[in-house]
Amino acid sequence: MKNSTTREIEHVVLAHGGGGELMARLIRDHLLPPLKNERLAPLTDGAVLPWTAGDLVFTTDSYVVTPLEFPGGDIGRLAVAGTVNDLAVMGAEPVALSLGLILEEGLPLEVLDGILASIAATAAEAGVTIVTGDTKVIERRKKPAAESQTAAPAADGLFINTAGVGRRRPGVNLDIKRIAPGDLILINGTLADHGLTIMSVRNGIEFESALRTDAAPLNGLIGQLLDCGADVKFLRDPTRGGLAGVLADICEATSLSIDVAEDQVPISRTARHAAEMLGLDPLTVANEGKVVAVIAPQHVEQALRALRNHPLGKSAAVIAEVTGAAPPLVELITRVGGRRIIQRPYGEELPRIC
């Protein structure tokens, strides 16, 4: 008789899309082998394409967030910002995006108009142009009378796919293999705001200080960082899997350890309270307006100044150090001096948050 673990391995489950260990296995065991493409092997946020006028960077992503609108943003802002950020962390200046819409029969046109206005405004904010697109309409699907908050809700009427192209900045060398012991890890602001905003809306939880998504295009901020003269070795936006997922990727790819200082990780009081109420670890919660940067230690002050001089980086902080300790682990140094291992989340704690 096959147990539940075996059945999950034989079929796609929601956790396969969560950015955690199950998603890593799905990509490694099922997606990469048949494609046999060396450009996919690094599993970065985009692919660098050789071009006569310099390298182009190409990326694509799909957005299925529920609800479609939430405090501080909506699925349209999320789609543009997310694709722009995937290009920016590859060292590229975003130039153009495609926009694919899958609309469910019954979606109010007023809602669609509002989301398209948000897409246009966010593209203008990022300085990119929507240059092509596609629209499909699917039949209205039957939804359960009462959907569980712990399972992914059915479609909320609209899915978005975006692809983006950017020009790679000359002289930028963002390679995870360049990371070495002594390097420091920075983040540009508070963690977990996006995922906790979505979950709070779904659960009808309100706080004295409102939670808002952090979704924002980061190409301007990242451009300032790359232009400041600091040795920036690696960039990644901590979306699905959160900060924990990014740090686990670094540890796995480099065989180096990472010490995270709990008292240096910026988390708002409201987000911390929301995480406690929802039983979530803020380090594993998705962000949509944050960048993790690995910087050579002698250039950290330059990098911090560059980040803090931008509106989206005013709360930038050094949160961790890379070490050569064996075996390679990511550990949280607690406020009282203890140590806790930080692991990549197994599946998806927050369904449909991006």
At 61-84, the pLDDT tens digits run 999 998 999 999 999 999 999 999
Comparing 291 with 154, which gets the higher pLDDT? 291
Q: Which CATH number fits domain 43-168: 3.30.70.20, 2.60.120.260, 3.30.1330.10, 1.10.3720.10?
A: 3.30.1330.10
The token duo for 199 is 């979950």
**Which residues, including other chains, have CB under 8 Å from residue 5's CB and lie 6 or more apart?**
none
CATH topology of domain 176-341: Phosphoribosyl-aminoimidazole Synthetase; Chain A, domain 2 (3.90.650)
At 317-326, the pLDDT tens digits run 999 999 999 9
Q: Which DSSP helix (H) or strand (E) runs through 58?
A: strand 56-63
Residue 41: the pLDDT is 56
pTM: 0.84
Q: Is the dihedral of CA 192, 227, 251, 316 positive or negative?
A: negative
Q: Where would I find the H helices in 29-185?
A: 32-35, 75-88, 109-126
The token duo for 168 is 């790679």
Q: pLDDT band for 204, please (50, 70, 90 cuts).
A: confident
The stretch 276-280 carries a mean pLDDT of: 90
Domain edges within the chain: 1-41, 43-168, 176-341
At 186-200, the pLDDT tens digits run 999 999 999 999 988
Q: Is the dihedral of CA 319, 219, 194, 99 positive or negative?
A: negative
| The amino acid at 2 | K
Residue 3: the pLDDT is 43
Find the angle CA(274)-CA(76)-CA(99) to the nearest 5 degrees. 145
CB 342 within 8 A of CB 283: yes
Residue 340: the pLDDT is 95
Find the angle CA(307)-CA(191)-CA(324) to the nearest 5 degrees. 75
Find the angle CA(73)-CA(95)-CA(220) to the nearest 5 degrees. 60
Q: pLDDT band for 50, please (50, 70, 90 cuts).
A: low
